[in-house]
Amino acid sequence: MSSKNLHCAGSEVTIDAPSTSDGSEMWRIACDSRKLDLNSSYTYLLWCRDFAGTSAVARADGDVVGFVTGYVRPQVPDTLMIWQIAVQTAHRGRGIATALLHDVLRRASEAGVTYVETTITSENEASIGLFGALAAHWGATVERSELFHSAQFPDEHDSEELFRIGPLSFVHTQVPA
Ligand SMILES: CC(C)(COP(=O)(O)OP(=O)(O)OC[C@H]1O[C@@H](n2cnc3c(N)ncnc32)[C@H](O)[C@@H]1OP(=O)(O)O)[C@@H](O)C(=O)NCCC(=O)NCCS
Protein backbone atom coordinates (compact mmCIF):
# COMPACT_ATOMS: atom_id res chain seq x y z
CA MET A 1 0.00 0.00 0.00
CA SER A 2 1.50 3.37 -0.98
CA SER A 3 1.95 6.13 1.60
CA LYS A 4 2.04 9.94 1.38
CA ASN A 5 4.31 12.25 3.31
CA LEU A 6 3.79 15.84 4.40
CA HIS A 7 5.74 18.14 6.68
CA CYS A 8 3.89 19.76 9.57
CA ALA A 9 5.61 22.10 12.02
CA GLY A 10 8.88 20.24 11.81
CA SER A 11 7.31 16.77 12.02
CA GLU A 12 7.32 14.27 9.21
CA VAL A 13 3.70 13.15 8.81
CA THR A 14 2.97 9.97 6.90
CA ILE A 15 -0.48 9.01 5.64
CA ASP A 16 -1.27 5.42 4.79
CA ALA A 17 -3.82 2.65 5.22
CA PRO A 18 -4.16 1.33 8.81
CA SER A 19 -3.29 -2.14 10.03
CA THR A 20 -4.89 -3.92 12.96
CA SER A 21 -2.01 -2.80 15.20
CA ASP A 22 -3.29 0.81 14.75
CA GLY A 23 -6.79 0.02 16.05
CA SER A 24 -6.06 0.68 19.73
CA GLU A 25 -4.55 4.14 19.01
CA MET A 26 -7.50 5.01 16.79
CA TRP A 27 -9.82 4.12 19.67
CA ARG A 28 -7.77 6.38 22.03
CA ILE A 29 -7.88 9.30 19.60
CA ALA A 30 -11.65 8.87 19.19
CA CYS A 31 -11.97 8.81 22.99
CA ASP A 32 -9.79 11.92 23.46
CA SER A 33 -11.70 13.87 20.79
CA ARG A 34 -14.76 14.09 23.08
CA LYS A 35 -16.70 14.72 19.87
CA LEU A 36 -16.93 11.35 18.20
CA ASP A 37 -19.22 8.56 19.27
CA LEU A 38 -16.85 6.18 21.03
CA ASN A 39 -17.42 2.69 19.70
CA SER A 40 -16.01 -0.43 21.32
CA SER A 41 -12.24 -0.93 20.98
CA TYR A 42 -13.07 -4.14 19.13
CA THR A 43 -14.83 -2.10 16.42
CA TYR A 44 -11.65 -0.21 15.55
CA LEU A 45 -9.52 -3.36 15.30
CA LEU A 46 -12.12 -5.08 13.17
CA TRP A 47 -12.44 -1.96 10.99
CA CYS A 48 -8.68 -2.01 10.38
CA ARG A 49 -8.93 -5.60 9.27
CA ASP A 50 -11.94 -5.27 6.98
CA PHE A 51 -12.03 -1.63 5.77
CA ALA A 52 -8.35 -0.61 5.64
CA GLY A 53 -8.74 0.12 1.93
CA THR A 54 -11.16 2.96 2.64
CA SER A 55 -9.51 4.20 5.86
CA ALA A 56 -6.25 5.97 6.68
CA VAL A 57 -3.98 6.89 9.59
CA ALA A 58 -1.59 9.82 9.97
CA ARG A 59 1.68 9.20 11.81
CA ALA A 60 3.93 11.96 13.10
CA ASP A 61 7.41 10.64 13.77
CA GLY A 62 5.89 7.16 13.80
CA ASP A 63 3.03 7.80 16.27
CA VAL A 64 -0.60 7.69 15.13
CA VAL A 65 -1.96 11.27 15.44
CA GLY A 66 -5.09 11.05 13.31
CA PHE A 67 -7.34 8.68 11.43
CA VAL A 68 -10.27 8.48 9.07
CA THR A 69 -12.58 5.49 8.69
CA GLY A 70 -14.86 4.98 5.72
CA TYR A 71 -16.59 2.43 3.57
CA VAL A 72 -18.08 2.25 0.10
CA ARG A 73 -21.85 1.97 0.45
CA PRO A 74 -22.80 -1.54 -0.71
CA GLN A 75 -25.99 -0.38 -2.47
CA VAL A 76 -24.46 2.88 -3.77
CA PRO A 77 -20.96 1.92 -4.97
CA ASP A 78 -20.08 5.38 -6.31
CA THR A 79 -20.31 6.75 -2.75
CA LEU A 80 -17.69 6.72 0.00
CA MET A 81 -19.26 7.11 3.44
CA ILE A 82 -16.86 8.73 5.91
CA TRP A 83 -17.71 7.29 9.29
CA GLN A 84 -15.23 8.99 11.64
CA ILE A 85 -12.31 11.40 11.34
CA ALA A 86 -10.21 12.84 14.14
CA VAL A 87 -6.82 14.45 14.66
CA GLN A 88 -5.12 14.81 18.04
CA THR A 89 -5.52 18.32 19.40
CA ALA A 90 -1.81 19.17 19.24
CA HIS A 91 -1.71 18.37 15.53
CA ARG A 92 -4.86 20.19 14.37
CA GLY A 93 -4.92 23.10 11.95
CA ARG A 94 -2.03 21.74 9.87
CA GLY A 95 -3.93 20.07 7.06
CA ILE A 96 -3.75 16.52 8.44
CA ALA A 97 -7.50 15.83 8.23
CA THR A 98 -7.52 17.18 4.68
CA ALA A 99 -4.61 14.91 3.78
CA LEU A 100 -6.38 11.90 5.33
CA LEU A 101 -9.53 12.60 3.28
CA HIS A 102 -7.58 13.09 0.07
CA ASP A 103 -5.75 9.82 0.66
CA VAL A 104 -8.91 7.72 1.06
CA LEU A 105 -10.55 9.56 -1.85
CA ARG A 106 -7.57 8.88 -4.10
CA ARG A 107 -7.82 5.16 -3.38
CA ALA A 108 -11.62 5.02 -3.54
CA SER A 109 -11.67 6.90 -6.85
CA GLU A 110 -9.78 4.00 -8.40
CA ALA A 111 -12.83 1.86 -7.58
CA GLY A 112 -15.24 4.34 -9.18
CA VAL A 113 -16.20 6.54 -6.22
CA THR A 114 -17.33 10.04 -7.23
CA TYR A 115 -19.37 11.09 -4.17
CA VAL A 116 -18.49 11.47 -0.49
CA GLU A 117 -21.00 11.35 2.34
CA THR A 118 -20.65 12.02 6.02
CA THR A 119 -22.96 12.93 8.86
CA ILE A 120 -22.31 15.85 11.17
CA THR A 121 -24.09 17.14 14.25
CA SER A 122 -25.17 20.77 13.98
CA GLU A 123 -22.74 22.16 16.57
CA ASN A 124 -19.58 20.66 15.01
CA GLU A 125 -18.18 23.73 13.25
CA ALA A 126 -14.73 22.20 12.64
CA SER A 127 -16.24 19.25 10.81
CA ILE A 128 -18.65 21.43 8.81
CA GLY A 129 -15.66 23.61 7.87
CA LEU A 130 -13.53 20.59 6.93
CA PHE A 131 -16.08 19.06 4.57
CA GLY A 132 -17.06 22.48 3.20
CA ALA A 133 -13.40 23.09 2.35
CA LEU A 134 -13.20 19.66 0.70
CA ALA A 135 -16.23 20.45 -1.48
CA ALA A 136 -14.80 23.87 -2.37
CA HIS A 137 -11.49 22.27 -3.34
CA TRP A 138 -13.27 20.01 -5.83
CA GLY A 139 -15.81 22.61 -6.93
CA ALA A 140 -18.43 20.10 -5.81
CA THR A 141 -21.97 20.63 -4.58
CA VAL A 142 -22.92 19.95 -0.95
CA GLU A 143 -26.43 18.59 -0.41
CA ARG A 144 -27.56 18.63 3.21
CA SER A 145 -30.47 16.61 4.59
CA GLU A 146 -31.44 15.00 7.88
CA LEU A 147 -30.37 11.34 7.98
CA PHE A 148 -31.31 10.37 11.54
CA HIS A 149 -33.45 12.44 13.87
CA SER A 150 -32.52 12.44 17.56
CA ALA A 151 -35.82 10.63 18.30
CA GLN A 152 -34.58 7.61 16.33
CA PHE A 153 -31.70 6.99 18.74
CA PRO A 154 -32.27 4.84 21.82
CA ASP A 155 -30.03 7.11 23.93
CA GLU A 156 -29.34 10.83 24.24
CA HIS A 157 -28.02 11.61 20.77
CA ASP A 158 -28.23 14.68 18.56
CA SER A 159 -29.72 14.45 15.08
CA GLU A 160 -27.21 13.52 12.41
CA GLU A 161 -27.26 15.63 9.26
CA LEU A 162 -26.13 14.01 6.02
CA PHE A 163 -23.65 15.92 3.84
CA ARG A 164 -23.47 14.51 0.31
CA ILE A 165 -20.61 16.01 -1.70
CA GLY A 166 -19.99 15.56 -5.41
CA PRO A 167 -19.57 14.76 -8.13
CA LEU A 168 -15.79 14.75 -7.74
CA SER A 169 -14.16 14.80 -11.16
CA PHE A 170 -11.16 12.61 -10.48
CA VAL A 171 -10.98 11.61 -14.12
CA HIS A 172 -9.79 15.08 -15.09
CA THR A 173 -8.03 16.16 -11.92
CA GLN A 174 -5.14 14.89 -9.84
CA VAL A 175 -5.92 14.28 -6.16
CA PRO A 176 -3.32 16.35 -4.24
CA ALA A 177 -0.78 14.59 -2.05
C1 LIG B 1 -12.43 18.12 12.46
C2 LIG B 1 -10.94 17.78 12.61
C3 LIG B 1 -10.73 16.33 12.18
C4 LIG B 1 -10.13 18.72 11.67
O5 LIG B 1 -8.76 18.28 11.69
P6 LIG B 1 -7.57 19.24 11.21
O7 LIG B 1 -6.39 18.39 10.88
O8 LIG B 1 -7.37 20.32 12.20
O9 LIG B 1 -8.19 19.87 9.86
P10 LIG B 1 -7.36 20.60 8.68
O11 LIG B 1 -6.17 21.29 9.25
O12 LIG B 1 -7.16 19.67 7.56
O13 LIG B 1 -8.42 21.73 8.26
C14 LIG B 1 -9.05 21.74 6.97
C15 LIG B 1 -10.18 22.76 6.96
O16 LIG B 1 -11.19 22.40 7.91
C17 LIG B 1 -11.78 23.58 8.47
N18 LIG B 1 -11.57 23.58 9.91
C19 LIG B 1 -10.68 22.86 10.62
N20 LIG B 1 -10.80 23.13 11.93
C21 LIG B 1 -11.78 24.06 12.04
C22 LIG B 1 -12.38 24.74 13.14
N23 LIG B 1 -12.00 24.52 14.41
N24 LIG B 1 -13.40 25.59 12.88
C25 LIG B 1 -13.83 25.82 11.61
N26 LIG B 1 -13.28 25.20 10.52
C27 LIG B 1 -12.27 24.35 10.75
C28 LIG B 1 -11.09 24.75 7.79
O29 LIG B 1 -11.83 25.14 6.64
C30 LIG B 1 -9.76 24.15 7.37
O31 LIG B 1 -9.18 24.79 6.28
P32 LIG B 1 -8.22 26.08 6.53
O33 LIG B 1 -7.22 25.69 7.58
O34 LIG B 1 -7.63 26.31 5.18
O35 LIG B 1 -9.14 27.16 6.99
C36 LIG B 1 -10.44 18.02 14.06
O37 LIG B 1 -10.84 19.31 14.48
C38 LIG B 1 -10.96 16.98 15.06
O39 LIG B 1 -10.35 15.93 15.24
N40 LIG B 1 -12.10 17.27 15.73
C41 LIG B 1 -12.66 16.34 16.72
C42 LIG B 1 -13.31 15.14 16.06
C43 LIG B 1 -14.41 15.55 15.12
O44 LIG B 1 -15.22 16.43 15.42
N45 LIG B 1 -14.46 14.88 13.94
C46 LIG B 1 -15.48 15.11 12.94
C47 LIG B 1 -16.71 14.32 13.27
S48 LIG B 1 -17.87 14.30 11.91
The pLDDT of residue 50 is above 70? yes
- Of 3, 17, 12, which Cα lies nearest the Cα of 94? 12
Give me ligand 1 centre to Cα 118, in Å: 14
- Atom 20 (ligand 1) nearest CA: 126
Tallying the residues shown for the chain, one arrives at 177
Helical H runs in 34-124? 41-50, 96-109
φ/ψ of residue 67, rounded to 5 = -155, 160
Domain count, the chain: 1
pLDDT digits (tens, 9 = 90+) for 55-76: 999 999 999 999 999 999 999 9
Ligand 1, closest atom to CA 118? Answer: 48
Sign (positive or negative) of CA dihedral 151, 153, 155, 161 = negative
Q: What is the pLDDT of residues 69-109, one digit of tens each?
A: 999 999 999 999 999 999 999 999 999 999 999 999 999 99
Question: pTM of the prediction?
Answer: 0.94
pLDDT in tens, 125-162: 999 999 999 999 999 999 999 999 999 999 999 999 99
Whether the per-residue pLDDT at 38 is higher than 90: the answer is: yes
Burial zone of 1 (CB within 10 Å; 0-12 exposed, 13-18 middle, 19+ buried): exposed
The CATH number assigned to the domain holding 33 equals: 3.40.630.30
Is 177 inside a domain boundary? no
Percent of the chain predicted with pLDDT > 90: 86
Domain annotation covers residue 171: no
Please calculate the CA angle 170-12-98 and round it to the nearest 5 degrees: 35
Residue-averaged pLDDT of the chain:
93
